[in-house]
Structure 1
Amino acid sequence: MNYDLLIKNGTVILESEAIVTDVAVKDGKIAAIGSDLSDASEVVDARGLIVSPGMIDPHVHISEPGRTEWEGYVTGTKAAAKGGVTSFIEMPLNQLPATVDRESLQIKFDVAKGKMTTDVAVFGGLTPRNLDDISDLDEDGVTAYKCFMATCGDRSKPEDFENVDDYSLYEGMRRIAKTGKILAIHAENAAITDRLGQIAAETGPRTLKAYVESRPVFTEVEPIRRAILFAKETGCRIHICHVACPEGVEEVTKARAEGVDVTCETCTHNFYFVTDELDAIGNVAKCSPPIRDKKNQDGLWEKLFKEEISFAVSDHSPCTPDLKEGDAFSAWGGVAGLQNNVDVMFDEAVQKRGMSLEQFGRIISSNAADRYNLNAKGRISIGKDADFVFIKPDAPYVLKAEDLEYKNKLSPYIGREIGAQVVKTILRGQTIYDQKTGVTETPKGQFILN
């Protein structure tokens, strides 16, 4: 067979092992894996590199339309490509209008045309006002649904996202269960965190450490328990987003053992930063749930290695520089991290802590593909989409603002030495990023509809 692309001599992460072998691509799909492959239109020598499945980041905010000055499809998907992310699932906020019905979903599809460097799947929202739109969103191809138990959105903007109350969470779960799709949940107790935050802001100090203290661990654990109870009642499959404490993961693990269809994720920044360094970094490191202390971080690493945490995500939630000004309580909460998921996690998990390459492949790709039914993605396996990221190990570099493809060059990783590099990203057999030539100027991405 005359292949379109042949990747030779790389250490390839397969499902059960990582071996030096060759991978052949035909018509955007993986056609063969072996050591005796030849006859290809393009040959790429990956000697000395790790050839991993392209990352699937299942938690990304693109703010177009409505807040395109925060992040748009052009800059967001370019950053993904440069970071080794070949597909991501886009949250139903922070764009205006939020993606909560058939009309707003179509607006998203229309504004993204011709702009995407990577593939993108879509979350539909669950809010108190769109219960009757759940089935329409399902029919139109959303991969899953997302809700907030924490306060969110700008109530002066009626088209913005809105957090659920207990009834809309219960009724929304009941309706989503009929679709068979997953409800992803931001689990923080809104009433308690809002009031504790108000008291802390009034009494001071208005620091990031004080902000973290105003969102204690139990304010994550309680809504996780509540969500699990509702899932038991409704039969809804659920996923807990960005768990920042091991106690929250334990609730998920216990429920899964009891037969509840529930998983969870943690953000790369929770594995990397700790509370005591946040004020030195500044508001670019503010997020919720917050980045907790070293003890919490160590607990999350333990849970990740046990695979009680299904995947690491960016929760890429950028904004304009002015929104990061002010004190820790008034500044926008969100970390821009999409471009540095793969290199940071490879360095921290594989190189510094000894995670196997096979587990790394599951954490950044195949687990997310399985959970969200992205059936063509997630593995270096015959018949799957030819999505790859080439990683150069033991190759430290210091991240600079000008390295970032984001609309706004803000990130808590700026100035940090990262011990590995993404050198090439391939989407469906086509190079979308090369370290020597940069990100392609020809958008090759498409929406993934379920």
Structure 2
Amino acid sequence: MQQSSAVIRSRRVVLPDGERPADVLIRYGRIERIGAHGSLTGAALTDLGDTALLPGLVDTHVHVNEPGRTEWEGFATATRAAAAGGVTTVIDMPLNSIPPTTTVAGLAAKRRAAHGQTWVDLGFWGGAVPGNTGELQGLYEEGAFGFKSFLSPSGVDEFGHLGPAELSEALTEQARLGALAIIHAEDPDELASAPQLPGSHYRDFLASRPAGAESAAVARLLATARRTGARVHILHVSSADVLPLLAQARADGVRVTAETCPHYLTMAAEEIPDGDTAFKCCPPIRDEANRDRLWAALANGEFIGIVSDHSPATSELKLRQEDGGSGDFAKAWGGIASLQLGLPAIWTEARRRGHQLADVVRWMAAGPAELVGLAGIKGGIAVGCDADLVAFDPEGTFTVDPAGLQHRNPVTPYAGRTLTGIVRTTWLRGRPVDVEAEPFGRQLRRPN
């Protein structure tokens, strides 16, 4: 049972206005008061010493895949991984499950599948695909946080991509609803004209998904957003070439935000071994100079957040050579498994570049919460917020052993990397999360 009140004390509490020693009073699952270090008494006390206290992370880009492809990932394994990585809120993507979340019935199927097996709080995106415009209002009224679309083939037959006319139709309806459109932006014509060379050479795969495909798709999307008045969000930006397009659109009054992901910020094409398809994702990990440009944009506030794009698959689908597969990047499933590792991966690189824990919290908790309308509820240590908290040792190090991850399939490009930053405890609404005990995560609906 949850205690009615508790105090968590740390010399390093990361608050919205910066890091300082503080006491945090929790009552009935919410933050009731923040006091000076050592000032709050009369409740059960947890003193973290110099271990940092962060708000729980908010990951708005997770592919859980259940029902239908639960052998890739499921709600139980994904949310245990989230909790182990300091993520307390997950918003699930509408594709790779069967049925996809493109109808009210599909959303209901998701909710039934997730019931009773989530260790963190969980919400759902809807999907906008060819022919389902009439479903969007019902999905939105049922609490979907917005609608995902692809501008190029998604990789699964049951989730089609939008052509120009279909995109205009979908964004017109979403503007009418006031809904957020989240977009996988790669241009199918640019992809089709790129060299498509199968095999194990990463350079050939990279050439098959050129940066120009992102720029062309973003330009088309922004033009449609200007015309329809829709609010749009660019998913998993891998190419820094799109950043000037976004800046100009914002200057013109287009409501556009963007995100990037840990793998684009911590890895570079030059480092990826041939045949190691654990690194395959779409859009792809690009070169080191591009990575530096993404970091500069992040520091300048050009991204609203960093989210995982956790998109795992079985070892057989990844075709890794070390598992006896072909190592063919063209044929392997594209997706990075990283839900449990995003916080230490980003902190390792961020501290090397001179950033602070407060920056990481802004990128991985506050920003994503703002994106989905959960600011003031999730993503911050502030009075009135849910007491979703993380005890994080910013000096501890560990080497990633895939066997120790909570993900269903132990395939990750972070294997063998030494990372700085260890999650010691995760609290959800004031209760410590024990992944070996009964789950108590809740299903979330979009706030009105």
Q: Does 1:242 align with 2:236?
A: yes
Equivalent-residue separation in structure 2 for 1:390 and 1:83 (angstroms): 11
Q: How does 1:113-128 map to 2 (within 5 A)?
A: 113-128=115-130
Choose which of 268, 279, 286 in structure 2 pairs with 1:285: 279
- The amino acid across from 2:156 in the alignment is D
What is the one-letter code of the residue matched to 2:139? Answer: L
* Alignment match, 2:444: 448
- 2:399, 2:129 → 1: CA distance? 41
Runs of 4+ residues deviating >4 angstroms = none
Aligned position for 1:374: 374
Structure 2 residue identity aligned to 1:163: H
Task: Show the counterpart of 2:174.
Answer: 176
Q: Of the candidates 164, 167, 191, which is equivalent to residue 166 of structure 1?
A: 164
The whole-number CA distance in structure 1 between the counterparts of 2:115 and 2:11 is: 34
Q: Deviations over 1:261-320 (max 9, x none)?
A: 101011100001111222257101100100000010010010011110111111000001
Letter of the structure 1 residue corresponding to residue 40 of structure 2: L
Distance in 1 between residues matched to 2:50 and 2:192, nearest whole Å? 50
TM-score normalised by length of structure 2: 0.94
Which residue of structure 1 lines up, in the alignment, with residue 322 of structure 2? none
Aligned residues: percent identity?
Answer: 35
**Cα 1:229/1:363, change in 2 over 3 Å:** same
Deviations 1:85-111 (A, max 9, x none): 000111001101110010000000011
**In the TM superposition, what are the counterparts of 1:59-70 in structure 2 within 5 Å?**
59-70=61-72
Match of 2:33 in 1: 32
Aligned counterpart in structure 2 of residue 186 of structure 1, from 180, 184, 195:
184
Deviations 1:405-429 (A, max 9, x none): 0111111111000011111111111
| SS class of match (1:279) | coil
CA distance in 1, matches of 2:28, 2:17: 25
Instruction: Confirm or deny: 8 A CA contact 1:58 1:88 kept in the other structure.
Output: yes
2:221 to 202, 221, 227: 227
In the TM superposition, residue 195 of structure 1 has moved relative to its aligned partner by: 4.4
Do the aligned residues in 2 keep the contact of 1:3 with 1:24 (CA within 8 Å)?
A: no
2:20 equivalent in structure 1: 19
Aligned-partner SS, 2:286: coil
- 8 Å contact 1:209–1:278 — kept in the other structure? no
For the aligned residue pairs, the C-alpha RMSD in angstroms reads 1.4
TM-score of the pair, normalised by structure 1: 0.94
C-alpha separation between the residues in 1 aligned to 2:193 and 2:313?
Answer: 25
Aligned partners of 1:386 and 1:154: how far apart in 2? 38
**One-letter amino acid matched to 1:410:** V
Amino acid at match of 2:167: L
> Within 2, Cα distance between the matches of 1:144 and 1:134?
9
Residue ranges of structure 2 left out of the alignment (5+ in a row): 320-325
Q: 2: CA distance between counterparts of 1:17 and 1:276?
A: 36
- The DSSP-based 3-state class of the residue aligned with 1:292 is coil
Q: Within 5 A, what are the aligned runs for 1:189-200?
A: 189-196=187-194, 199-200=196-197
Q: Across the two proteins, how many residue pairs are aligned to each other?
A: 434
Distance 2:392 2:244 in 1: 32
* Cα distance in structure 2, aligned partners of 1:190 and 1:280: 25
Partner of 1:401: 402
Q: Which residue of 2 aligns with 1:261?
A: 255
Contact 1:275-1:291 within 8 A present in 2 as well? yes
Q: Is the 8 A contact 2:201 2:274 kept in 1?
A: no
Q: Give, in whole Å, the separation in 2 of the partners of 1:83 and 1:3.
A: 26
Query: Equivalent residue for 1:340?
Result: 341
